[in-house]
Amino acid sequence: MSDPQPDFRERYGGAALVTGASAGIGETFCHALAERKMDLVLVARRKGKLNELAEELARKHEIRVDVIAQDLGTSDGPALVKKAVDELDIDIGLLVNNAGYGTHGDFVEQDVEREAAMVDLNCRAPLVLTHLFLPRMVTRGKGGLIFTASMAGFQPTPYLACYGATKAFDLMLAESLWAELKGSGIDVLALCPGVTPTEFQEIANVKSLGPAIAMTTREEVVEAALAAFGKKPTVVPGVVNKVLNLSVRFGSRARVAQMSGYFAKPRDGADD
């Protein structure tokens, strides 16, 4: 981890709310923001894991940490989170829209309800949460929004078709808000990691999605995000990933789609 930035609490004017906080990149965001002395609101479905993390962070960093156990994929999930935050009397200065999941395999073999639920969690939830928490930031004249998108959002993603489409939505939403809110005192960032070991691979039933040299750790991803926050609209963690991302701009979309499909296609023995 890099040296903590003690101005985060003052810079954003309130606590940080992190969705998908119980594991993976979300949990790593919680540790990094706690090091920067930000109070936290942890949101995910698994209350037990959230409580354990909250106790650890509060004790170690002497900050306030609240837990909201809520499924954001439900139609009223985001509104229930906002209601809980209001009842806790917490001002949110930084919203980390991180919760999400993916599926992997032939599109025709995917369960339509699970795909639709992915759109609700990956797209609808961050959209609604941003609508709910952004007005207060605008009134205050300071705040921050981080959207966990993906390198998958930059190009077509065969065998990850719905997931890639949801991450393109998150990427475009974040970059649009970055431009729209520029000069308002509100920082906006689209975080676009490549392959990073998290529960995503287990849930999506993925064993490999590209060369190991492009792999980044959760800590590298989060540190890249916080270093870029307030300086640029988008960050792709990892030198190799930056090169790979730039390379897609020089090929036709048809060729890029074919190459993306080559790396993402399930191999015999690689996925069940």
**Each residue's pLDDT tens digit, 106-120:** 999 999 999 999 999
Residue 245: pLDDT band (50, 70, 90) is confident
The active-site residue out of 101, 159, 163, 262 is: 163
Distance CA 167, CA 12 (A): 25
State the CB neighbour count (10 A cutoff) for residue 4: 15
Q: What would the pLDDT profile of 117-146 be if each residue is shown by its tens digit?
A: 999 999 999 999 999 999 999 999 999 999
Residue 239: pLDDT band (50, 70, 90) is confident
Residue 45: pLDDT band (50, 70, 90) is very high
Q: Is residue 21 within 8 Å of 53, Cβ to Cβ?
A: yes
pLDDT at 6 over 90: no
pLDDT at position 246 is 72
Q: Catalytic annotation on 12?
A: no
Q: Which two tokens stand for residue 3?
A: 């040296």
